[in-house]
A and B are shown apart, each in its own frame.
Chain A
Amino acid sequence: MNEQELTRILSRFVALVSTRLPDDVIEILRSAAASADDLEQKQLFRIMFDNLERARLEKIPICQDTGTPYFHVRLGANSPFMNCIERCLRKAVEIATSEIPLRPNAVDPFTGRNTGTNVGKNIPWIDYELVPDSDKLEIFLHMAGGGSSLVGRSLVLKPLERIEGMSEILIDTLINNGINACPPLFLGIGIGATMEISAILAKRALLKPVGERSEDPRIAELEEILLEDLNRLAIGIQGMGFGKSILDIHIEYSARHPTTFAVGISANCWVFRRGVLVLYPNGEFEIPTHKEADIS
């Protein structure tokens, strides 16, 4: 597979993620819809699923805010695509933006000028993670909408104030910002030594498959407890107070410094557009998040 062919596949992958939700997100939305017991909730879910169906069939964006393209690439140290992947990803975003089309969302923070292509300074953002002894690339794509991104937060707490601090930041974030961010929401929580570490771990946590619990049984239990506790806020669908508020929570962490306890929160609306493309050295690929999709 040459660079041009790879770019082509990646642009179709960007298009797929913008027009169709991943299987696990659809499944959790279906189960939330199935437990809806009043007419208002049922009507809202009907509109939401009608919209998903229309976007899928017509291959048009699910939401007009097609988001900021954010990639997390797990780079196999022996992958033959190491050198070209960044170029290909940038070009792929530009192609998908004009072909689907996507809404141009890359704005120069100083001049306010929109680049028109979704490509700009450091955008798409790429978070690389090196994987030793591997020859594949795992490309996670998240189309991060503005409404969801407004919820994001990270803060360094003093260790002695960690419990009340973490409780406060979670509740404040959800009732003040989460309510306007198209709930029901998905949450990623990062805990670590510095503000930057907690923020990036929060994003990686957010991108984990729905329903998959932490491999650390203690953290897995905490994820379940937080999900139960925070749903008691009854934010509800579209903030209206009925139905589920939060569909899933993941936690990632690093060791912390003795004097810090950093907490990051990354949130996503119900239209959780993310996908994973696994690329093998021979150019074959698979998209485990979208089983029935064919972009070859």
Chain B
Amino acid sequence: MKEHHVRTPLRLQDINQISIGDIVYLSGKVVTGRDAVHRKIIEEKVDPPIDLSGLALFHAGPVVKREGTEWKIIAIGSTTSMRMEKYEAEFIKKTGIRMIIGKGFMGEKTAGACAEKGCIVGLLPGGCAALFSKKVKKVIDVYWADLGVPEAMWVLEVEELGPIYVTIDSKGENLYDLRRRSLESLGRAVSERLYHDLSRFI
């Protein structure tokens, strides 16, 4: 397990040295995008408002406050990445994004696109939004505000955001495959046990 400190825009050689299980601290420009942004770009085929190539996509919907003409991030953290699995592979191919940060794991379609286009996926511990809000140095812009605060595309400058645990690397290796195999085999063992235990009660 290695620790990496990287800055956007990310080049292919930056992410090729990162493997699943490694820890990343990210600096530079990142954009948020959740369900509605994916729907807009993939389903409705709307072009992203800025060039996303080499940037990081953050699965996050922040708590924000308007102070004069500036937006301030009060709390920000990762949201369940698996919700975006349906469109993420296409999103990677269309935008050239090089890193995705979210919560939990992502599936095989995303891993395939990561290998094909050169992208990595990482998990930022969930439920820690007060702490991670301190890593946002600036709100650069907000697009598609009509989608509502959580769903809009926030363009942020972050400094040393992490620890991000890499779950998919640019070879397409996916930590989720290992976790699933382990969970399925444990699930079978627990299921037998549970059947036996439950039959005493119900």
Contacts and interface: CB of A to CB of B under 8 A. Distances in A.
A50 interface: yes
B193 A63 contact: no
A56 to B, nearest CB: 9
A98 to B, nearest CB: 10
Contact of A163 (B149, B193, B199): B199
Contact of A239 (B36, B64, B179, B194): B179
A235 B184 CA distance: 11
Given A60-B74, A175-B183, A229-B197, A180 B125 contact: no
B190 interface: yes
Contacts of B163: 43, 47
B190 A180 contact: no
B42 interface: no
A55 B130 contact: yes
Contacts of A180: 80-82, 103-105
Question: What range describes how many residues of B lie at the interface?
Answer: 35 or more
Given A171-B190, A232-B186, A114 B151 contact: yes
Most buried by B among A163, A191, A270: A163
Contacts of A51: 127-132
A167 B198 contact: yes
A130 B168 CA distance: 51
Most buried by A among B81, B127, B190: B127
A191 B36 CA distance: 36
Interface in A216-254: 218, 221-222, 225-226, 229-230, 232-235, 238-241
A104 B150 contact: yes
A101 B74 CA distance: 8
Contact of B75 (A50, A60, A234): A60
Interface of A: 43-44, 47-48, 50-52, 54-55, 58, 60-66, 100-105, 107, 112-114, 116, 146-147, 150, 162-164, 166-168, 170-171, 175, 179-182, 191, 218, 221-222, 225-226, 229-230, 232-235, 238-241, 261, 269-271
A-B pairs, top 9 by smallest CB distance, nearest first, are A180-B104, A114-B148, A55-B130, A271-B127, A64-B129, A182-B126, A51-B128, A51-B131, A167-B194
